[in-house]
Protein backbone atom coordinates (compact mmCIF):
# COMPACT_ATOMS: atom_id res chain seq x y z
CA UNK A 1 0.00 0.00 0.00
CA UNK A 2 1.53 3.28 -1.11
CA UNK A 3 1.34 6.42 1.05
CA UNK A 4 -0.95 9.11 -0.28
CA UNK A 5 0.47 12.30 -1.73
CA UNK A 6 0.43 15.33 0.58
CA UNK A 7 -2.44 17.72 -0.16
CA UNK A 8 -1.22 21.32 -0.36
CA UNK A 9 -3.80 24.09 -0.63
CA UNK A 10 -2.88 27.18 -2.66
CA UNK A 11 -5.02 30.24 -1.97
CA UNK A 12 -5.97 32.62 -4.77
CA UNK A 13 -6.77 36.23 -3.84
CA UNK A 14 -7.86 38.95 -6.28
CA UNK A 15 -4.50 39.98 -7.72
CA UNK A 16 -2.62 36.74 -7.01
CA UNK A 17 -0.33 35.88 -9.93
CA UNK A 18 1.96 33.14 -8.63
CA UNK A 19 -0.79 30.78 -7.51
CA UNK A 20 -0.58 28.69 -10.67
CA UNK A 21 3.20 28.49 -10.33
CA UNK A 22 2.82 27.26 -6.75
CA UNK A 23 0.29 24.65 -7.89
CA UNK A 24 2.68 23.52 -10.61
CA UNK A 25 5.59 23.31 -8.16
CA UNK A 26 3.59 21.18 -5.72
CA UNK A 27 2.64 18.77 -8.49
CA UNK A 28 6.16 18.68 -9.94
CA UNK A 29 7.51 17.66 -6.52
CA UNK A 30 4.96 14.87 -6.10
CA UNK A 31 2.25 16.56 -4.06
CA UNK A 32 -1.45 17.02 -4.71
CA UNK A 33 -2.26 20.70 -5.23
CA UNK A 34 -5.64 21.94 -4.00
CA UNK A 35 -6.70 25.34 -5.42
CA UNK A 36 -8.46 27.42 -2.76
CA UNK A 37 -10.51 30.59 -3.18
CA UNK A 38 -10.09 33.58 -0.82
CA UNK A 39 -13.85 33.96 -0.39
CA UNK A 40 -14.36 30.42 0.97
CA UNK A 41 -13.68 29.11 4.46
CA UNK A 42 -13.09 25.51 3.37
CA UNK A 43 -9.42 24.47 3.09
CA UNK A 44 -10.35 21.40 1.09
CA UNK A 45 -8.78 18.87 3.44
CA UNK A 46 -5.32 20.32 2.85
CA UNK A 47 -2.35 19.06 4.86
CA UNK A 48 -0.49 22.34 4.28
CA UNK A 49 -1.41 25.72 2.83
CA UNK A 50 0.50 28.20 0.66
CA UNK A 51 -0.34 31.90 0.36
CA UNK A 52 1.28 32.75 -2.99
CA UNK A 53 2.87 35.86 -4.41
CA UNK A 54 1.17 38.62 -6.35
CA UNK A 55 -0.59 41.86 -5.55
CA UNK A 56 -3.65 40.91 -3.49
CA UNK A 57 -6.32 43.58 -3.79
CA UNK A 58 -3.87 45.70 -5.78
CA UNK A 59 -1.72 46.27 -2.67
CA UNK A 60 -4.08 49.09 -1.68
CA UNK A 61 -3.51 50.58 1.79
CA UNK A 62 -0.51 48.30 2.47
CA UNK A 63 0.63 45.02 1.01
CA UNK A 64 -1.56 42.30 2.49
CA UNK A 65 -3.61 44.74 4.57
CA UNK A 66 -6.92 43.88 2.87
CA UNK A 67 -6.25 40.21 2.18
CA UNK A 68 -5.84 39.54 5.90
CA UNK A 69 -9.62 40.03 6.25
CA UNK A 70 -10.55 37.49 3.55
CA UNK A 71 -12.91 34.73 4.75
CA UNK A 72 -10.28 32.04 4.10
CA UNK A 73 -7.97 33.68 6.64
CA UNK A 74 -10.28 32.80 9.53
CA UNK A 75 -9.95 29.12 8.72
CA UNK A 76 -6.24 29.53 8.00
CA UNK A 77 -5.66 30.98 11.45
CA UNK A 78 -7.34 27.97 13.07
CA UNK A 79 -5.30 25.69 10.79
CA UNK A 80 -2.08 27.40 11.90
CA UNK A 81 -3.11 27.34 15.56
CA UNK A 82 -3.54 23.57 15.21
CA UNK A 83 0.13 23.31 14.26
CA UNK A 84 -0.33 22.62 10.56
CA UNK A 85 2.20 23.94 7.98
CA UNK A 86 1.48 27.37 6.47
CA UNK A 87 3.80 29.05 3.98
CA UNK A 88 3.61 32.63 2.72
CA UNK A 89 5.63 33.52 -0.38
CA UNK A 90 6.28 37.20 -1.17
CA UNK A 91 2.77 38.73 -1.00
CA UNK A 92 1.78 35.73 1.10
CA UNK A 93 4.56 36.64 3.55
CA UNK A 94 3.20 40.19 3.69
CA UNK A 95 -0.31 38.86 4.39
CA UNK A 96 0.92 36.64 7.24
CA UNK A 97 2.70 39.60 8.84
CA UNK A 98 -0.41 41.79 8.49
CA UNK A 99 -2.46 39.01 10.10
CA UNK A 100 0.04 38.84 13.00
CA UNK A 101 0.75 35.20 12.21
CA UNK A 102 4.39 36.20 11.74
CA UNK A 103 6.47 38.92 13.43
CA UNK A 104 7.68 42.10 11.75
CA UNK A 105 6.49 43.85 8.60
CA UNK A 106 7.47 44.33 4.96
CA UNK A 107 7.93 47.87 3.61
CA UNK A 108 9.23 49.55 0.44
CA UNK A 109 12.64 48.38 -0.70
CA UNK A 110 15.47 50.52 0.61
CA UNK A 111 16.35 51.53 -2.94
CA UNK A 112 12.71 52.52 -3.61
CA UNK A 113 12.82 50.41 -6.76
CA UNK A 114 11.31 47.10 -7.78
CA UNK A 115 13.89 44.30 -7.80
CA UNK A 116 13.73 41.20 -9.97
CA UNK A 117 16.79 38.94 -9.94
CA UNK A 118 18.32 35.74 -8.64
CA UNK A 119 19.59 35.79 -5.08
CA UNK A 120 21.27 33.38 -2.70
CA UNK A 121 19.74 32.68 0.69
CA UNK A 122 21.37 30.95 3.64
CA UNK A 123 19.39 28.50 5.73
CA UNK A 124 19.45 29.59 9.38
CA UNK A 125 17.38 26.81 10.95
CA UNK A 126 15.91 23.43 10.05
CA UNK A 127 12.86 24.14 12.24
CA UNK A 128 10.36 25.25 9.62
CA UNK A 129 8.16 23.58 7.00
CA UNK A 130 10.52 24.77 4.24
CA UNK A 131 13.80 23.74 5.84
CA UNK A 132 13.03 20.44 7.57
CA UNK A 133 15.87 18.12 6.64
CA UNK A 134 18.15 20.99 5.60
CA UNK A 135 21.21 22.08 7.56
CA UNK A 136 21.92 25.58 8.85
CA UNK A 137 24.49 27.16 6.58
CA UNK A 138 23.25 25.61 3.34
CA UNK A 139 22.86 28.12 0.51
CA UNK A 140 19.98 27.98 -1.98
CA UNK A 141 19.59 30.04 -5.16
CA UNK A 142 16.11 31.41 -5.82
CA UNK A 143 14.65 34.52 -7.49
CA UNK A 144 13.07 37.63 -5.95
CA UNK A 145 10.61 40.04 -7.57
CA UNK A 146 9.13 42.68 -5.31
CA UNK A 147 8.89 46.36 -4.55
CA UNK A 148 8.04 46.04 -0.87
CA UNK A 149 10.27 43.34 0.51
CA UNK A 150 12.31 45.14 3.14
CA UNK A 151 11.80 43.25 6.40
CA UNK A 152 11.64 45.51 9.46
CA UNK A 153 10.88 45.09 13.15
CA UNK A 154 11.49 47.00 16.38
CA UNK A 155 14.93 46.55 17.88
CA UNK A 156 13.64 44.52 20.80
CA UNK A 157 11.57 42.34 18.48
CA UNK A 158 14.60 41.68 16.28
CA UNK A 159 16.58 40.70 19.36
CA UNK A 160 13.83 38.32 20.41
CA UNK A 161 13.65 36.80 16.92
CA UNK A 162 17.40 36.24 16.87
CA UNK A 163 17.39 34.78 20.37
CA UNK A 164 14.48 32.45 19.64
CA UNK A 165 15.82 31.30 16.28
CA UNK A 166 12.90 32.70 14.27
CA UNK A 167 15.03 33.77 11.29
CA UNK A 168 14.78 31.06 8.62
CA UNK A 169 16.67 32.58 5.66
CA UNK A 170 19.15 35.42 5.12
CA UNK A 171 20.34 36.99 1.87
CA UNK A 172 23.98 36.10 1.25
CA UNK A 173 26.63 35.43 -1.39
CA UNK A 174 27.07 31.97 -2.98
CA UNK A 175 29.38 30.97 -0.13
CA UNK A 176 26.98 32.07 2.61
CA UNK A 177 28.72 35.32 3.55
CA UNK A 178 26.54 38.32 4.38
CA UNK A 179 26.98 41.78 2.90
CA UNK A 180 24.95 44.82 1.89
CA UNK A 181 25.65 44.09 -1.78
CA UNK A 182 23.82 40.76 -1.46
CA UNK A 183 20.76 42.23 0.29
CA UNK A 184 18.34 43.20 -2.52
CA UNK A 185 15.92 45.26 -0.45
CA UNK A 186 17.74 46.48 2.68
CA UNK A 187 16.06 44.02 5.03
CA UNK A 188 17.14 44.26 8.67
CA UNK A 189 19.88 41.72 9.43
CA UNK A 190 19.62 40.51 5.81
CA UNK A 191 16.42 38.63 6.74
CA UNK A 192 14.77 36.88 3.79
CA UNK A 193 12.36 34.66 5.72
CA UNK A 194 11.03 34.08 9.23
CA UNK A 195 8.91 31.61 11.17
CA UNK A 196 6.56 31.76 14.13
CA UNK A 197 7.49 30.52 17.59
CA UNK A 198 5.73 27.18 17.07
CA UNK A 199 7.72 26.65 13.88
CA UNK A 200 4.82 25.69 11.61
CA UNK A 201 4.22 29.07 9.92
CA UNK A 202 6.94 30.48 7.68
CA UNK A 203 7.16 33.39 5.26
CA UNK A 204 9.82 34.41 2.78
CA UNK A 205 10.20 37.03 0.06
CA UNK A 206 12.09 34.86 -2.50
CA UNK A 207 10.08 32.61 -4.81
CA UNK A 208 10.97 28.91 -4.46
CA UNK A 209 8.13 27.98 -6.83
CA UNK A 210 10.12 29.61 -9.65
CA UNK A 211 13.22 27.51 -8.89
CA UNK A 212 11.93 23.98 -9.43
CA UNK A 213 12.54 23.14 -13.10
CA UNK A 214 16.21 22.60 -14.03
CA UNK A 215 15.37 23.50 -17.64
CA UNK A 216 14.57 27.04 -16.50
CA UNK A 217 17.50 27.73 -14.19
CA UNK A 218 18.66 27.08 -10.60
CA UNK A 219 16.62 24.66 -8.50
CA UNK A 220 16.94 26.09 -5.00
CA UNK A 221 13.21 25.73 -4.58
CA UNK A 222 13.26 21.94 -4.85
CA UNK A 223 14.55 21.23 -1.31
CA UNK A 224 12.07 23.76 0.10
CA UNK A 225 9.07 22.10 -1.54
CA UNK A 226 10.40 18.66 -0.66
CA UNK A 227 10.57 19.77 2.97
CA UNK A 228 7.04 21.19 2.79
CA UNK A 229 5.62 17.94 1.43
CA UNK A 230 7.42 16.01 4.15
CA UNK A 231 6.15 18.36 6.86
CA UNK A 232 2.60 18.23 5.48
CA UNK A 233 2.18 14.54 6.31
CA UNK A 234 3.81 14.60 9.74
CA UNK A 235 1.40 14.27 12.66
CA UNK A 236 0.89 17.54 14.51
CA UNK A 237 2.13 16.06 17.79
CA UNK A 238 5.47 15.00 16.31
CA UNK A 239 5.95 18.00 14.02
CA UNK A 240 8.52 20.81 14.19
CA UNK A 241 7.46 22.48 17.42
Q: How far is CA 151 from CA 89, 90, 134, 193, in A?
A: 13, 11, 23, 9
Beta bridge partners, 49, equal: 9, 86
Kindly report the number of other CB atoms within 10 A of residue 40's CB atom: 13
E strands of 55-189, at which residues? 86-89, 105-107, 115-123, 139-146, 150-152, 167-172
Kindly report the number of other CB atoms within 10 A of residue 8's CB atom: 27
* Catalytic position from the list 124, 209, 210, 234: 209
Burial (CB < 10 A; 0-12, 13-18, 19+), residue 41, is middle
Strands 139-146 and 115-123: antiparallel
* Catalytic position from the list 38, 90, 98, 146: 90
**3-class SS at 228?**
helix
Query: Does the annotation mark 146 as catalytic?
Result: no
| DSSP run (H or E) holding 230 | helix 221-232
Q: Are 168 and 202 in contact (CB under 8 A)?
A: yes
Beta bridge partners, 174, equal: none
Query: Does the annotation mark 210 as catalytic?
Result: no
Query: Does the annotation mark 90 as catalytic?
Result: yes
Q: Are 208 and 160 in contact (CB under 8 A)?
A: no
Half-sphere exposure for 157 (CA within 13 Å, toward CB): 12
* Catalytic position from the list 98, 207, 210, 234: 207
Which residues are the active-site residues? 90, 207, 209
Amino acid sequence: MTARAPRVGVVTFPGSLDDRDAVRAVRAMGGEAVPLWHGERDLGGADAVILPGGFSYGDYLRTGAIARFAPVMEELRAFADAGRPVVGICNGFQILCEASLLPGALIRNAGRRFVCRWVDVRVETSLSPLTAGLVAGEVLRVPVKHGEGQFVARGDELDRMEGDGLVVFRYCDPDGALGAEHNPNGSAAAIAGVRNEAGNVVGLMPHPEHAIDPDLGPTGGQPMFAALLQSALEPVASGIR
